[in-house]
Amino acid sequence: MPPGHVRGTLEEAFRYCLRGGLSAGFGAEAFWSHDIGGFCGAMPSPELYIRWMQLGFLSPFTRFHGNGLREPWHYGETATSVAQHYGRLRYRLIPYLLAAAEEVYARGTPLQRHLALEFQGQPGVDGIDDQLMLGPDLLLAPVLVRGGALVPAYRGAQQHRKQPVPETVVLTAWSSDRERLRELTFDDGRGRFIASHVSGAAGGVVRVAASGRRVELRLVDVPAGSVRSSSGEVRAEDGGSVVVIADAAEVVVSYG
C-alpha cells in the first residue's frame, strides 16, 4: 500500500471520491487519492474513465489500480493520448507539487483542499463540493458525470490575490536506508532538472543538475562537519539537519 489514504469505488461513485476526499482533508488527511476507474466492478465507459483519469493525474498520487482492466490502453486511443498528455503535465508540475508538499509538512494543509481553506469568508464558497485546490495556487473544476459540460470555475478565485509559487526547488534526503530522495527527473519548462542521491555506510553523494535554478537541499541524520558542497552555502540547523543553498547549473554535495 503506498503512502496516503486511498478510496477505491465503483464507477457510479466517481463523484463521491472528490467529495469524500475533500472531507478527509478537513480531518488532517493530507495525501488522499483514489483508484482511477474504480477499484472493482464493471469497466467504466471510456468517457467516464478519461474524466476520472484527469482528476487522478492531478491528485496527490496517481493510481491505475483495482480488480480488472484499469490501465489507459484498455479504453482506446483517446484515453491513451489523454494519459500521455496529463502524465507530461504532472511532471511539469513536480516543482510546484514539491513546494506544496513542504507546505503540508510545515502547516498540515492537505495537498488537495476544499476551496473554503483558501478563500475563507468568501460568499458561497462553503457549499462548493465539485471543485478543489491543488496546492495553494491551482484551482481544479473536474467534470464528474458522463455527458457533463465543463464546470464554470469559482469566480472569487480571480479576485483573490495569491502568493507566487516559490522559485526555490526544495529537496530532502536522509542518510543510509532512510532516503527520501533517490532519483528525480523532470522538465518544468525552464530547463531539465535532475537530482540523484546515492548513500551507504561510508557516506553519500547528492548530485543536482538544476539549470541554474535555486536549490535548497536538506540532509537529515548527516553530521554537519562531514558535508562538502561544490557551491553554495552550507549551514547546520537544529534537529540534526544540514541545509545547502545554491544557485548553480550543477551542485554536488557529499558527506561522510
- 141 and 115 co-located in one domain: yes
Same domain, 118 and 186: no
Number of domains in the chain: 2
pLDDT at 164 over 60: no
The model's confidence at residue 79, banded by pLDDT at 50, 70 and 90, is very high
Q: Is residue 146 part of a domain?
A: yes
Among 2-11, 125-134, 145-154, the range scoring the smallest mean pLDDT is 2-11
Confidence grade of residue 82 (pLDDT, cut at 50, 70, 90): very high
* pLDDT number for residue 6: 47
Q: What percent of the chain has pLDDT over 70?
A: 79
Q: Which domain holds residue 67?
A: 5-158
Rounded CA separation 140/154 (Å): 9
What pLDDT does residue 159 have?
52
On whether both 175 and 136 belong to a single domain, the answer is no
Same domain, 211 and 247: yes
Mean pLDDT of 239-244: 81
Q: Of 158, 189, 207, which one is at a domain's C-terminal end?
A: 158
- List all residues 6 or more positions away from 32 whose beta carbon is below 8 Å from its beta carbon: 4, 5, 6, 7, 21, 24, 25, 59, 60, 110, 112
Residue reference for cell 460568499: 123
Domain-embedded: residue 113: yes
Rounded Cα distance, 113 and 31, in Å:
10
Please check whether residues 180 and 131 belong to one and the same domain.
no
Q: Is residue 163 assigned to a domain?
A: no
Cell numbers for 44: 467504466
Same domain as 152, residue 175: no
Q: What is the pLDDT of residue 83?
A: 94
**CATH of residue 215:** 2.60.420.10
Instruction: State the alpha helices, DSSP H only, in 133-205.
Output: none
Question: What pLDDT was estimated at residue 1?
Answer: 36
In terms of DSSP bridges, do strands 138-140 and 32-34 run parallel, antiparallel, or are they unpaired? unpaired
Looking at the fold, whether 173 and 154 belong to one and the same domain comes out as no
Q: Are residues 18 and 138 in the same domain?
A: yes
Residue 164 lies in a domain: no
More confident residue, 213 or 231: 231
The CATH number covering residue 105 comes to: 3.20.20.80
Out of 5-19, 84-98, 169-183, the most confident range is 84-98
Structural domain includes residue 57: yes
Whether 160 shows a pLDDT value over 60: the answer reads no
Rounded mean pLDDT, 73-89: 94
pLDDT digits 0-9 by tens, 31-45: 888 888 887 777 888
Boundary of a domain, candidates 127, 158, 189: 158
The pLDDT score that the predictor gives to residue 194 is: 80
